[in-house]
Structure 1
Amino acid sequence: MNKTELVAAIAADVDLSKADTARVLESVLESLTKALTRGETVQLIGFGSFAVASRPERAGRNPSTGEQMTIKASKSPKFTAGKALKDAVNASA
């Protein structure tokens, strides 16, 4: 499912126009991004949690030359599925 299909599914579910639904979805994603940028954790009970994980600086190799290099420290968004989401996915398997 891509973003357009998600907007269409939500719009049909809640009886809103696709334009209004797209604005709501954009707002939700922007709010999630802002919270993660501030280093906050976003918990959606029953769905899951979004958090920021730190990766330390480490040694690596350039795959094309084999030369050793240092990979900079970075932050990465992480998602942890909640119990209800895990149960729903496993029930359909």
Structure 2
Amino acid sequence: MTLTKADIVREVYMRHDDITKAQASNAVESFLNLAKAVLISGDDLLLSGFGKFNVRNKKERKGRNPQTGSELMLSSRRVVTFSPSGILRAKVNEQ
């Protein structure tokens, strides 16, 4: 099952009796906007106990079209990578 943003809002709302669904939605949106802004600026995002999101620069490189086999140059770009924390890794591997 995929966890959607709506699912996250619903869980935040259900776990906190003192907030409305609109406030839960605003909190989730605020966090996601902050996370996006940090990553867009090129900084890393560290969530203790969860993991670290890194922005990495990839150089221009040769590639190949798998359908035609023709070679082409892939442009340089930035990618976001995720490294889980040791705590998260251990909990995922328990099951």
Identify whether the pair has TM-score above 0.5, normalized to the shorter chain.
Answer: yes
Matched, 1:33 2:31: no
Q: Matches of residues 1-93 of structure 1 in structure 2 within 5 Å? A: 1-15=3-17, 16-91=19-94, 93=95
Distance 1:61 1:41 in 2: 31
Identity among equivalent pairs (%): 30
The AA in structure 2 aligned to 1:73 is S
Unaligned segments of structure 1, at least 5 residues? none
Structure 2: unaligned runs, 5 residues or longer: none
Q: Contact 2:8–2:28 at 8 Å: present in 1 too?
A: no
**Matched residue type, 2:13:** A
Aligned residue for 2:33, secondary structure, equals: helix
Q: How many residues are paired up?
A: 92
4+ residue segments displaced more than 3 Å: none
For residues 87 and 13 of structure 1, the distance between their equivalents in structure 2, rounded to whole angstroms, comes to 25
Alpha-carbon RMSD across the aligned residues, in angstroms, is 1.3
User: How far apart, CA to CA, are the structure 1 residues paired with 2:21 and 2:65?
Assistant: 45
The aligned amino acid for 1:17 is: T
